[in-house]
Amino acid sequence: MELPHFIRHCRTGLYLVLGLGMAGSSIAGDRIASRDFATRSEVFAPHAMAATSHPLTTQIALDVMKRGGSAMDAAIAANAALGLMEPTGNGVGGDLFAIVWDPKTKKLYGYNGSGRSPKNLSLQWFIDHGYKDVPSYGPLPVTVPGAVDAWFALHDRFGKLPMQQNLAPAISYARNGHPVAETISYYWNLSVPRLSKFPGFTEQFTINGHAPRKGEIWRNSNLANTLEKISREGRNGFYKGSTAKTIADYIQAQGGFLSVDDLADHHGEWVQPISTNYRGVDVWELPPNGQGLAALQMLNILEAYDFSKIPFGSAEHVHLFTEAKKLAFADRAALYADPEFSKTPVEKLLSKDYAAERRKLINPDRAMQAIDAGVALNQGDTIYMTVADKDGMMVSLIQSNYRGMGSGMAPPGLGFILQDRGEQFVLKAGHPNSFAPGKRPFHTIIPAFITKNGKPWISFGLMGGAMQPQGHVQIVMNLIDFHMNLQEAGDAPRIQHDGSTEPAGQNTAMADGGMLNLESGFSYPVIQALMRKGHKIEFADGPYGGYQAIMQDPETGVYAGASESRKDGQAAGY
């Protein structure tokens, strides 16, 4: 086996750190399982399974189901605990989306738990005050947090245990403490210098001014009090009363606009999941304002290529994937938005005929440098988790504060940070995703699901901003085209393309082809071949997302679980 190569491409000035050997070759041929990329085996269990980004929350989910709770009870319990244990990715100050397989009705249900912008803030205010983009931090990007509302809506339909029981583990850990995991400590440490200037952050999210170190005990009694209030009073314990007043008063004192009325008026909504068929399986996402549609568009474009003759990790594989991404993301930037303000042509974008039209733009020998949307309209961090129970319910859930620890706005005495999703608006009149009062921004967090012959097969997700649809497509391709198992599909080296036109900020169009990041494991001859096609390639340290998945055997009902090897998490069952 060769040593890693460290190569400087003099003409472009780009630095590459390349992995070992040829991707797709047997780099783990000395293992009994002979799985090239798997870091460990899949986990199997006959009754229930949980896969989360923290081992303690996985155990919480299993404990809830052992006490008679449903997969939804377990998911809520685990998500509440993750807000404490992984505040670098989520919390009650953020939004939540979910796809649920209900074994009673044998149907998938979708929930959009994203919050809206303040009603007293306008696009004209930003323009009058000289803003080109919504700021990344502080009070102005704060939108109403939708997670707590989503918990109660999902629990009303699919829960079995009282919410007091579901929130009890998170409350206990918040009061008594838990040792902080290594990856979480790393990202927490990155956030502290950036967010410590905001009132309430240092007091509530550091230990004597520093981020908790790995293994250090972390307690958050303020969050315990907030969760206790929610468990006693329900969703009104968050969106009304003293908690809502504290949030609104704090934001307005910092120069923001979020009000008690904005919080009181919040409601998420049940939505119909959308799907496409990819080589005999149905892949499901949620419709806009999220970006799940981009994954389905990419799959439709890629379906025409015969990957039984295109090896994993080859230049042809990476090139076709990247070009399909560019095409889908051009539509994503121009068309995806809150459907209450702008109607995304979902049916058109999902059609196989439309994919065939767009596919004609792909040159097998040359990378696209610029691309327009195919249809005209008339006018960082997150957690992903999945849980499955003994009755066959499967929950695919994603939750986020955005940008890791969110806006930095930590209302006094509440123990959580508010999200900064408003950064995803465009400050440009007439754009589908332009800022408006009471509007949901374009959203990056997306859960996913796969059914086979009308039966549940895989609940999965892969967090990480614009990486998410790209990651979803790679997982599906790894499973279907490259015949990997559930764990290997997540461990295989990943592709990330950056630089497409974005549906946020200044909405600047891609003009230079963007930048391609390849995780360690792609060979230098492949890198060279991609450069010859016009791709610009750059080393990037860790933007490849976080994956969890549960698969159900349709014959035996046995669950298989997989967890992201790049994170601190765990898949486990009983």
Strand partners, 281: 278
Asked if residue 11 has pLDDT above 90, the reply is no
Task: State how far the alpha carbon of 555 is from the alpha carbons of 180, 455, 457, in Å.
Answer: 40, 10, 11
Token output for 451: 């059914």
DSSP tag of 46? S
Q: Taking CA 75 as the corner, what is the angle to CA 272 and CA 450, rounded to the nearest 5 degrees?
A: 45
Digit-coded pLDDT (tens) for 394-433: 999 999 998 889 999 999 999 999 999 999 999 999 999 9
> Catalytic annotation on 382?
yes
Q: Are 400 and 145 in contact (CB under 8 A)?
A: no
Task: Summarize the confidence of residues 102-121 as an average pLDDT.
Answer: 98
pLDDT of residue 338: 93
Q: Is this prediction's pTM over 0.85?
A: yes
pLDDT of residue 507: 57
Digit-coded pLDDT (tens) for 34-74: 678 988 899 999 999 999 999 999 999 999 999 999 999 99
Digit-coded pLDDT (tens) for 323-368: 999 999 999 988 999 999 988 999 999 999 999 999 999 999 999 9
pLDDT of residue 373: 64
Sign of CA dihedral 517, 466, 420, 53: negative
Digit-coded pLDDT (tens) for 424-449: 999 999 999 999 999 999 998 999 99
Q: Which residue has the higher pLDDT, 255 or 373?
A: 255
Name the region of 521 (left: φ>0; alpha: ψ -120 to 50; beta: rest): left
DSSP string, 155-196: HHHH--S-HHHHHHHHHHHHHH-EEPPHHHHHHHHHHHHHHT
Domain coordinates in residue numbering, the chain = 33-512+539-574
Asked if residue 28 has pLDDT above 70, the reply is no
Q: Is 560 helix (H, G, I), strand (E, B) or coil?
A: strand
Digit-coded pLDDT (tens) for 364-393: 999 998 777 655 443 356 889 999 999 999
Distance, in Å, from the CA atom of 204 to the CA atom of 226, rounded to the nearest integer, reads: 13
Distance, in Å, from the CA atom of 309 to the CA atom of 319, rounded to the nearest integer, reads: 15
Digit-coded pLDDT (tens) for 449-491: 999 999 999 999 998 888 999 999 999 999 999 999 999 999 9
Token output for 249: 């008063």
* Given the residues 243, 382, 386, 444, the one annotated as active site: 382
DSSP tag of 241? H
Digit-coded pLDDT (tens) for 203-249: 999 999 999 999 999 999 999 999 999 999 999 999 999 999 999 99
In this prediction, residue 513 has a pLDDT band, given cuts at 50, 70 and 90, of confident
Dihedrals φ, ψ of 396, to 5°?
-110, 110
Distance, in Å, from the CA atom of 540 to the CA atom of 549, rounded to the nearest integer, reads: 25
> Which among 4, 52, 148 has a CA at the least distance from the CA of 568?
52
